[in-house]
Amino acid sequence: MDQLIDEIRQAQRITVLTGAGVSTASGIPDFRSSNGIWTEDGSREYYMSSDYFRHDPQDFWTKYKDIFQLKLLGSYHPNEVHRFLSNLETLGKEVTVITQNVDGLHQRAGSSKVIEYHGSLTTSTCPACGSIYDADYINSSQVPICERETCQTVLKPDIVLFGDAITEHDRAEAIIDKADLVLVLGTSLLVMPFNFLPEYAWTRKIPTALINREATPKDRLFHYVIHNDLIDVIQHFEDQIIKNQPLK
């Protein structure tokens, strides 16, 4: 852990990959292990797919709001991990967060460079005219519809649905190319193609570090591996890195 602290201190450009373990520390459930329709074999892929959205957008929105608990989105707040990554920027470091999470908490914590690899729950877009609507509008009706009189199309959530293409992978690799250090926080690295990113960093001979409660199938790709509670580790980093250095 002390060696990794030194790596973070020395690195100017840090790329951080974050997963569900960062959001669960804010009380947001890991949807893949929560109760209900999300855990039924095959159901989540079927109902949360672009095909089902096109087939029955009204029922899609009913299930989407239930699964992702959109009404509760505003009640969640950034935690120590989000704030630590934002605070690294106050030290003059260039920090880019590439997150699997769709809750927008990294931005709310103050991180200025965030790539939402799987999209965002906080907005939806009209497939016809491209108008973008925020969470308040999305929650104002059971099935959100574009308010333009000439449009009136059912909105599509700005998350990556099953069947949608991942559009941010090449951009994520380009960010990793410029990094002095790649930190991976709170992810089991089971979801493709996100889990290819640490391997890309390894092939580019960039120092890599993983902090996760449990071992992952990709542990071998990291120079530093810490299996521990993420909040406990980050609080230690905060004490050693942020509080012991002057702001720039």
Annotated binding site for Zn(2+): 126, 129, 146, 151
User: 169 by DSSP, 3-state: which?
Assistant: helix
What is the identity of the amino acid at 10? Q
Name the active-site residue from 77, 82, 106, 118.
Answer: 118
Picking from 37, 29, 183, the residue whose alpha carbon sits closest to that of residue 121 is 29
Helices within 69-208 (DSSP H only): 80-90, 105-109, 135-139, 169-177, 196-203
Residue whose pair of structure tokens reads 């960062």 in the numeric block: 22
> How many CA atoms lie less than 13 Å away from 85 in the CB half-sphere?
31
How far is 150 from 129, CA to CA, in rounded Å?
Answer: 9
85 CB neighbour count, 10 Å cutoff: 27
Residue 216, judged by CB atoms within 10 A of its CB (0-12, 13-18, 19+), counts as buried
Tokens for 113, please give them: 């460079």
Binding site members? 126, 129, 146, 151
How far is 164 from 156, CA to CA, in rounded Å?
Answer: 12
What is the identity of the amino acid at 108? R
> How many CA atoms lie less than 13 Å away from 116 in the CB half-sphere?
18
Active site residue 118: yes
Question: Would you please indicate which residues are annotated as catalytic (active-site) residues?
Answer: 118
